[in-house]
Structure 1
Amino acid sequence: MTLHLSAVVAGSIKSQGDSCEIRQFRHTDFSKSTSPVVLVDHFVMTGPAFAPHPHFGISAATLLLEDSTGVMQSLDSTENNREIRAGDLHWTLAGTGIVHAQRPAGEARLHGLQIFIDLPDHLKSLPASTSLLRAWEMPVIQTTSGRIRVVSGKHAGWESPLQTPEPLLILDGWLRPGASTLVPLPPGWNAWLYAVQGDVGVRARHRCKGAVPLPKVAGGDPDFAVVGAGLAVAASAKPDGEEGVLLLMAGRTPAHFVLIAGPAVDVRATPQGAGLLAGHASLEQALAAYETLDVEAEAEAQA
């Protein structure tokens, strides 16, 4: 057996006052590995919700979904002040340390995912950097089954221009009722799949061709899961197995899903980063740089 599906997970609901609601999924919530994904927050934000905060040794990606309205301002200690709009992806390579804050710029309803990706040890010492991929730069695959945006990585002959430290696939897809699509999963990769809207059936095929279905066991079909709106599932591919395939199927209504997949990272990070943050010289410098930039941004806004 090449692919293993986890149990379906509901995540936990968190609120930041009246301005932000989050459905949070931690890697420890799943019975199978989600590495390199450490944590994912599905958020709806209408006002400032988070104070400036640090990250270290990971990447943090903010994907604004296409139904977002208004603008998200991203301000960080690398002296980048960016405006993120509906459909965009903002990538933060925290590396040796970064301080940032992301908040609505004026009236907005920001709907999206914040994704925390672990880095292997040899990349944790990279200097912090950020990049912004606009929605119009992402390849869009339109078929009779639906529409898939290739946010990161390669899929079905299309490749996103986003440069990531390690290979990473991010798909933002819509399926018509009853339609399906295939997503290959290479050996040693894990995938995290989230249903934003509708029901998504997930069938694990252990080979691209000729796989024999597993026998039914007590408690259900180990090769199949139904992921309802607001739920997630993980899939793991054995490092020494063949390339497997995830068959994604919509139910009776349109389904909106986000899939994130990449090669597993051995060392597990926290959402903030690996190791102790307190007293870390590079983070102290990052905080000072952020505070300087924040003051300049406030002055420009008032001018």
Structure 2
Amino acid sequence: MTTPQRKPVSRRIDRVDERLHLGPDAQVDDKNLIFAPRPERTDPFLLLAEDWFSSPGFEWHPHRGIETVTTVVDGVLEHGDNAGHAGALVAGDVQWMTAGSGIIHRELAFRNERAHTLQLWVNLPRKKKMVDTRYQDLRAGERPIVQRDGVRVDVVAGRVGGVSGPARTHWPISGAMITLEPGRSTEHPVPGRDRAFCYVMAGRVSVGSRTLVAGQTGWSDPVRGAEATTARITAADGDSPSVVMLYSGEPIRQPVAMGGPFVMNSAAELEQAARDFHAGRFGRIPRQARLRHL
């Protein structure tokens, strides 16, 4: 006897974050904090920042214990690390970097012209904090696209509509950029165990019964007892498409200690990370020339 498949549970928005405009600083021309570090409410995600920069950008700096997911919104991002990776990413490209045991890298605007980026910090569980470092350049033209009835889903990680995104992750994470023509809807799959966020980059959408406008992030907590859930996203009527960044991941549920570029499980581990960096255990800071040509 075949067991009937249950209809996926519809997601609801449990709370909404407003982006915070921080303005220019010594590194960037302008900055928004889309959501701030509050691990008890955002686990496994830590923060999402939006930056516009020309010069100096983010010169050599370390990380440990996290993965960073950088989406180029506009301009050209030049990157490099102390493992010898270097290159440039253009609008639509995504870089998934595993800091793991320790990496030193930089993120600059190519030729000091302009770069506009979104950077998401994804936490790693205790047993993965010290994995080997890894760089993944996920080019826009090489990622799978699911298109149907006025909806375009650019799959970065996880599985949507029978296709899988190219990102290799150390913790189960799904991620997609969703573009909806005015008045169009989609049922986006989300594992029931996951916490999901929906950041509206442009336009206005409803997720479930909640309306979100550009600059807002809607959060949906795990649905107990549901294996499969969906987020029903509907774009408002109007003249322009709506664009949504939707990521989800199972909460790690471990202590989080954050100190600058390091994210560990305890204050003692943060202190060790700082000692390791200053002792050169992350490797040397490169004397790497700037890129001249794409």
The alignment's TM-score, normalised by the length of structure 2, stands at 0.84
Query: 2:150 maps to what in 1?
Result: 145
Match of 2:253 among 261, 266, 283: 266
Percent of pairs identical after alignment? 25
SS in 2 for 1:33: helix
Query: 2:233 maps to what in 1?
Result: 248
Query: 1:209 maps to what in 2?
Result: none
Query: 1:227 maps to what in 2?
Result: 212
**Is residue 59 of structure 2 the alignment partner of residue 73 of structure 1?**
no
Query: 2:4 maps to what in 1?
Result: none
Query: 2:3 maps to what in 1?
Result: none
1:1-303 map, 5 Å: 3=11, 5-17=13-25, 19-24=28-33, 25-28=35-38, 33-65=41-73, 68-69=74-75, 71-106=76-111, 108-203=113-208, 224-253=209-238, 254-267=241-254, 268=256, 270=258, 272-274=262-264, 275-277=269-271, 279-281=274-276, 284-285=279-280, 288-289=283-284, 291=285, 293=286, 295-298=287-290
Aligned residues: 272
C-alpha distance in 2, partners of 1:156/1:279? 43
* Aligned-residue offset at 1:143: 1.6
SS in 2 for 1:106: helix
CA contact (8 A) 2:12 2:207 kept: no
Describe the shift of the 1:284–1:20 C-alpha distance in structure 2 as closer, same or farther (beyond 3 A). Answer: farther
* Aligned-residue offset at 1:286: 5.7
C-alpha distance in 1, partners of 2:137/2:191? 27
Question: Per-residue displacement from partner, 1:141-173 (whole Å, max 9, x unpaired)?
Answer: 222222111111111111112211122111111
Greater strand proportion: 2
More off after superposition, 190-199 vs 151-160: 151-160
Does 1 or 2 have the higher relative contact order (CA < 8 Å, sep 6+)? 1
Describe the shift of the 1:263–1:72 C-alpha distance in structure 2 as closer, same or farther (beyond 3 A). Answer: same
More off after superposition, 263-272 vs 112-121: 263-272
More off after superposition, 5-14 vs 42-51: 42-51
C-alpha distance in 2, partners of 1:125/1:229? 37
* Aligned-residue offset at 1:262: 1.2
C-alpha distance in 1, partners of 2:114/2:145? 24
Structure 2 gap segments, 5+ residues each: 1-8
Give the superposed CA RMSD.
2.4
SS in 2 for 1:42: strand
CA contact (8 A) 1:168 1:261 kept: yes
